[in-house]
């Protein structure tokens, strides 16, 4: 432009806004974008005029890949979507497949699924609270949250051997029953956890910095939130009591008692309050389910006609002339065991509504597997929420939407 730095500064000093907007990239390596999210920002000073999220850095083609795998194998893919709460993804996939196959899940398996789903919710919310607070500047909460999340992950490790990618929920039931040790651990956890939630709250609830950075930020009205497709705690923060667990109960959610907390103003603070209350409710659900477990002692956790046993095992044999890439082929017939048709199932995952739509053509592989993930929709709402806010608030807004990029990119 031919202006020296001094001239530019003097020109802009006193002026209420800059002459022309400038553009910056936030991400994909920014620590506060919770993964590989890239935001292309149009700025007027520090105010955001426009925001264009660019996703796809973590696109692994799960939907395409699923068309080449049989139904049970896709469960493993589902772990890698929202890797913070993989049990929720497993459950959504399995519910859709069970509807398609017409399978009945044994009661004990349904209760076990509810427990792991709520454990996933707690561990996901704890991670959210930890990183959200860290982004805004409260370091201590981070350490406290990770202490308790570690506890949960250890229990998960005892349940299924994995800490993050569980694959514990299977088509028709769950992989294996809980041992006594796990039940005792969970009892201990549920006893201590309400105090712990109180502990987090005392850390930030009256903190002035926390309040000023969260109150009246990214306000969404109820109508707007529905139009934007927001679900889960983000929608409930705006005062809409829509919770799939109550509206279309699955697993054992119709047997347990819990409340659906809702917010009033629909700002970042309200969504924080909703999630904190959900932690308590989840704890309550786990407690009730543990008591129900003793009623169903000894029942099977996987029905005998589960497709694991129905789909004939295909023999793996080396190819006559090994292909340079593959080396092995699967032999054996594909027996039609799945009725042609379609099924839709949705669950309340920790982040929002996770829906799976599956179309079958009668073979043992899905013809089309569509996954509607909450993070994808929440990122799409980001430009609307961020408009007119400062860059520093953008960090709080990304945090409040609780996005995981593995979930949004699939």
State the minimum distance, in angstroms, from the CB of residue 224 to another protein: 8
Q: For residues 353 and 402, which CB has a smaller minimum distance to another protein in the complex?
A: 353
Kindly state the tokens that stand for 19.
């002459």
CB 36 within 8 A of CB 58: yes
Q: For residues 290 and 401, which CB has a smaller minimum distance to another protein in the complex?
A: 401
CB 194 within 8 A of CB 279: no
String of DSSP letters for 129-161: HHHHHHHHT-HHHHHHHHHHHHHHHHHHHHHHS
3-state DSSP assignment of residue 270: helix
Q: For residues 255 and 342, which CB has a smaller minimum distance to another protein in the complex?
A: 342
The DSSP bridge partners found for residue 53 are 39
Burial of 42 (0-12, 13-18, 19+ CB in 10 A): middle
| Distance separating alpha carbons of residues 221 and 243, to the nearest angstrom | 17
Kindly state the tokens that stand for 317.
């044999």
State the minimum distance, in angstroms, from the CB of residue 371 to another protein: 9
Q: Match 């995952």 to its residue by tokens.
A: 349
State the minimum distance, in angstroms, from the CB of residue 350 to another protein: 18
Residues 6+ apart with CB under 8 A from 331: 314, 315, 316, 317
| Distance separating alpha carbons of residues 270 and 238, to the nearest angstrom | 8
Q: Which of 354, 338, 316, 372 lies closest to 70, judged by CA?
A: 338
Kindly state the tokens that stand for 343.
């099924």
Q: For residues 296 and 363, which CB has a smaller minimum distance to another protein in the complex?
A: 363
State the minimum distance, in angstroms, from the CB of residue 342 to another protein: 8
State the minimum distance, in angstroms, from the CB of residue 59 to another protein: 5
State the minimum distance, in angstroms, from the CB of residue 242 to another protein: 5
Binding site for another protein (CB under 8 A): 55-56, 59, 61, 63-65, 68, 226-229, 240, 242, 247-248, 325, 340, 344, 346, 353, 355, 357, 359, 361-362, 367-368, 370, 372, 376-377, 379-381, 384, 409-410
Q: For residues 123 and 408, which CB has a smaller minimum distance to another protein in the complex?
A: 408
State the minimum distance, in angstroms, from the CB of residue 171 to another protein: 19
Q: For residues 80 and 368, which CB has a smaller minimum distance to another protein in the complex?
A: 368
Q: For residues 23 and 247, which CB has a smaller minimum distance to another protein in the complex?
A: 247
């Amino acid at each position: 432009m031919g202006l020296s730095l001094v001239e530019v500064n003097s020109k802009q000093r006193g002026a209420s806004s800059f002459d022309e907007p400038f553009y910056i990239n936030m991400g994909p390596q920014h620590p506060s974008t919770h993964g590989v999210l890239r935001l292309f920002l149009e700025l007027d000073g520090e105010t955001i005029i426009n925001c264009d999220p660019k996703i796809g850095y973590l696109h692994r083609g799960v939907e395409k890949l699923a068309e080449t795998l049989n139904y049970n194998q896709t469960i493993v893919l589902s772990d890698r979507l929202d890797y913070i709460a993989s049990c929720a993804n497993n459950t959504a996939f399995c519910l859709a497949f069970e509807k398609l196959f017409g399978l009945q899940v044994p009661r004990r398996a349904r209760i076990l699924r509810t427990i792991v789903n709520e454990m996933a919710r707690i561990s996901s919310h704890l991670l959210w609270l930890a990183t959200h607070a860290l982004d805004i500047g409260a370091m201590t909460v981070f350490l406290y949250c990770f202490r308790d999340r570690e506890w949960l992950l250890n229990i998960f490790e005892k349940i299924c051997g994995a800490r993050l990618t569980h694959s514990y929920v299977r088509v028709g039931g769950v992989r294996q029953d809980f041992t006594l040790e796990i039940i005792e651990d969970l009892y201990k956890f549920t006893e201590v956890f309400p105090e712990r939630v109180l502990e987090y709250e005392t850390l930030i609830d009256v903190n002035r910095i926390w309040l000023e950075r969260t109150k009246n930020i990214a306000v969404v009205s109820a109508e707007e939130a529905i139009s934007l497709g927001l679900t889960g705690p983000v929608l409930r923060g705006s005062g809409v009591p829509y919770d799939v667990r109550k509206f279309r109960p699955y697993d054992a959610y119709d047997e347990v008692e819990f409340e659906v907390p809702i917010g009033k103003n629909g700002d970042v603070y309200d969504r924080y309050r909703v999630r904190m209350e959900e932690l308590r409710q989840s704890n309550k659900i786990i407690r009730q389910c543990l008591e129900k477990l003793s009623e169903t002692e000894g029942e099977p956790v996987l029905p005998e006609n589960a497709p694991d046993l129905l789909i004939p095992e295909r023999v793996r044999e080396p190819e006559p002339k090994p292909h340079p890439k593959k080396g092995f082929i699967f032999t054996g017939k594909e027996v039609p065991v799945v009725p042609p048709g379609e099924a839709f199932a949705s669950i309340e995952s920790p982040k929002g509504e996770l829906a799976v739509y599956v179309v079958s053509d009668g073979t043992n592989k899905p013809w089309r597997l569509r996954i509607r993930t909450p993070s994808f929709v929440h990122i799409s709402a980001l430009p609307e929420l961020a408009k007119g806010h400062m860059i520093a608030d953008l960090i709080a807004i990304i945090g409040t939407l609780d996005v995981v990029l593995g979930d949004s990119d699939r």
